[in-house]
Amino acid sequence: MRTYKLTLAYDGTNYVGWQRQANGASVQQLVEEAFAPLVDGVAPTVAGAGRTDAGVHALGQVASVNAEIDLSPQAVQRALNVRLPADIRVLHVEDATPGFHARFHAVRKQYRYRMITASVLSPFDRWYVWHAPGRRNVDVMREAAAVLVGKHDFASFQARGASVAATIRTVHDVNLASEGDEIRLTIEGDGFLRHMVRAIVGTLVEIGRGWRSPDDMDALLARGDRGAAGATGPPHGLFLVRVDYH
């Protein structure tokens, strides 16, 4: 048995997310199907570090797989990319320690969210940014985002109906950058709840529009009520950038 660590990039536009689902094609499904010919037609389970939602993209998703084969990492990479569609690419493959699991052994993840505030959106950006025209006060958005750094209960930013019981997470860093008509939120933490980044973005947008005060962020963390926070930003502005391990 050999354990491989895969690093992948994908355009999530055409997929229901990373995880296998009955209602459409997933990235996990296609990677597993691409692996099947390498292991006598029986697709192995490929575990991803993050369960990105439908429409969410990845620049550095990490996955792990155990397989009864004796192929070099380079051979596995070539074989997978030949079989995968062009919107999913295996960037790197390496041997991993037996027992390595991409999700359970991850210690830090970085996500980036892109938003364009121009009145007209370039057609080449339409699947990769949230088009939210209108001026925003980036300074007050940055002030509110800084409150998120640290160990907090992020229940107010978890998707309704999510089954995760423990909602405490540690955010290590938040950066809100503005360049021209683009606003980019980069956030790093030990883990993220379902829709957490998108709910944070939606709340920050409302603060930037003056609909909320930056002081509201402390109260939202304390309330633990999803209904109290802002709307959930659309998925196509979100990218899983990086996953770190010890």
- β 238-244/57-67 pair status: parallel
Q: Token pair 């209904």 is at which residue?
A: 227
Q: Are residues 118 and 64 located together in one domain of the fold? A: no
Domain count, the chain: 2
Measured CA to CA, the distance from residue 234 to residue 15 in angstroms comes to: 15
> Does some domain include residue 102?
no
Residue 78 tokens, joined: 């070539």
Q: Are residues 120 and 77 located together in one domain of the fold? A: no
> Which has more pLDDT, 17 or 42?
17
Residue 96 tokens, joined: 């991993």
Catalytic annotation present for 173: no
* Tens-place pLDDT, residues 51-98: 999 999 999 999 999 999 999 999 999 999 999 999 999 999 999 999
Domain interval for residue 171: 108-244
Handedness of CA 92, 70, 67, 101 (dihedral sign): negative
Of 95, 120, 144, which residue constitutes the final position of a domain?
95
Residue 81 near residue 10, CB atoms below 8 Å: no
Of 70, 95, 120, which residue constitutes the final position of a domain?
95
pLDDT interval class at 142 (50, 70, 90): very high
* Tens-place pLDDT, residues 99-133: 999 999 999 999 999 999 999 999 999 999 999 99
Q: Are residues 153 and 195 located together in one domain of the fold? A: yes
Q: Are residues 82 and 147 located together in one domain of the fold? A: no
Of 95, 127, 145, which residue constitutes the final position of a domain?
95
List 40, 53, 95, 125, catalytic entry: 53
Torsion of CA 17, 95, 38, 92, to 10 degrees: 50
Q: What is the pTM of this model?
A: 0.96
Mean pLDDT of the chain: 96
Q: Are residues 89 and 112 located together in one domain of the fold? A: no
pLDDT interval class at 164 (50, 70, 90): confident
Q: Which pLDDT belongs to residue 147?
A: 97
> Does some domain include residue 103?
no
The half-sphere exposure of 104 on its side-chain side, counting CA atoms within 13 A, is 4
